[in-house]
Amino acid sequence: MATTSHAARAQDAPAETAPATPAASGATQDTAGADAGVAAQPGATAAPGTDGGASAAPGTVTESPQDYLKRQRGSTAGSEPEPIDNTNPETSHLLGDQQAMTEEKLGVQHVRSGTDPYEDPHKRYLFLGAFYRHFFIPSGIFKLFVDEAPSVNGPQPGIEFSVRKKGFEILASAFYSDFGTTGPYRSKGDGLDETEIIHSKLKVVYGGVTFLWSTMFSKYIGLQYGVGLGVGVVLGDLIRTEAYPTVGGGYAACQTPTAGGQPGTARPGKPFDPTRVPAFGDVSDWCNPAVATRPGDPPPISNRDGQSGAHYGVKARRWSSGGSVPNVWFRAAPQLSLRIKPIHQLVIRVDTGFDVFSGVFVGGAIQVGL
């Protein structure tokens, strides 16, 4: 008779399963619900001593923020999200995971392009440029001090170096002025017959500084206002010659006498007008002969500058020799400018103003940033 061992019977016997109690079933569901709810909360960390599995205590999260972002975008924790197509207008504005997290951590820094004309008020800017001005001195200004004088206008080119900060600019400059002119001249109180023609070959080389403040309407354009100061060395000569009235108005320089003690004559093509001043109806009344400076000396063809008599092609003396021609000249000029800065490295300026010593001026400048 065969016998069955207790082990065999135990192995063959069906396993008895204890019925699940409502409390146990509820606990299981609560735990699963807690796990599901916790997994939806990004940023939490697993409790110490857990491995992030199903046994994690309620209230903990087992996924990293990166996995959470991937899951929210439809990607699993173990796979990479689908790359964003930056060529698609509908998605080109979206950020990738790494870029999004980097911007959240570090913030967004706005970087200006290399040609942006914006100027940081706390930064110093240097410019090197060239300028051109043209000045005008109407004869009416001279006539405030003399009875007759020609108008003067001329070029004033130069170079400049600029230092700018907080809208304030200091410009150091070197420039040249040409005071060349020809016309009638008569000092205050002199008689009409003492009119002379002056031929100016004077030029001035200056060094100067200009101070300009700014009111900017935008980073591209603004208004500048200030004053320019300078001093220069006078070069060249001023030639004096006796003059006579011509037909049709105006004056002409007398023809130089051919011998000492002889009067000058009218120039060919510029006839003398005897009706202009009836009291001086002969050309010799205007083109006087030179006179001897010492008794017994023969009269010269022309007297020198500073001597009474007649002057024909005489160089006027400078201040340093007791004459009327300055050795130095000055600049004191209130200035108004329009400043245009299309790009960071380029400045265009339109200038106007009034120089106390050189009259009204207009011009402009171009600068490049250093």
Distance CA 193, CA 184 (A): 12
H/E element, 86: none
Which pLDDT value is given to residue 69? 56
Considering the four listed CATH numbers 3.30.56.10, 3.40.50.1370, 1.10.10.10, 2.40.160.20, the one that applies to the domain covering 125-237+316-369 is 2.40.160.20
Residues of the chain with CATH 2.40.160.20: 125-237+316-369
Q: What is the pTM of this model?
A: 0.68
Distance CA 152, CA 114 (A): 45
At position 337, the amino acid (one-letter code) is: S
Distance CA 28, CA 60 (A): 17
* Intra-chain end-to-end CA distance of the chain, in Å: 115
The 8-class DSSP code of residue 317 comes to P
Tens digit of pLDDT at every position of the chain (370 positions): 444 444 434 344 444 444 444 444 444 444 444 444 444 444 444 444 444 444 445 555 566 666 665 666 555 545 555 565 666 665 555 556 666 666 666 666 667 888 999 999 999 999 999 999 999 999 888 888 999 999 999 999 999 999 999 999 999 999 999 999 999 999 999 999 999 999 999 999 999 999 999 999 999 999 999 999 999 999 999 999 999 999 999 999 999 999 999 999 999 999 999 999 999 999 999 999 999 989 989 999 999 999 989 999 999 999 999 999 999 999 999 999 999 999 999 999 999 999 999 999 999 999 999 9
Report CA-CA distances (Å) from 316 to 93, 233, 244, 308, 342: 79, 17, 20, 13, 49
Report CA-CA distances (Å) from 323 to 75, 122, 174: 97, 52, 27
Report CA-CA distances (Å) from 47 to 38, 51, 78, 143, 304: 12, 9, 22, 100, 112
Residue 257 burial (CB count, 10 A): 22
Distance CA 357, CA 346 (A): 31
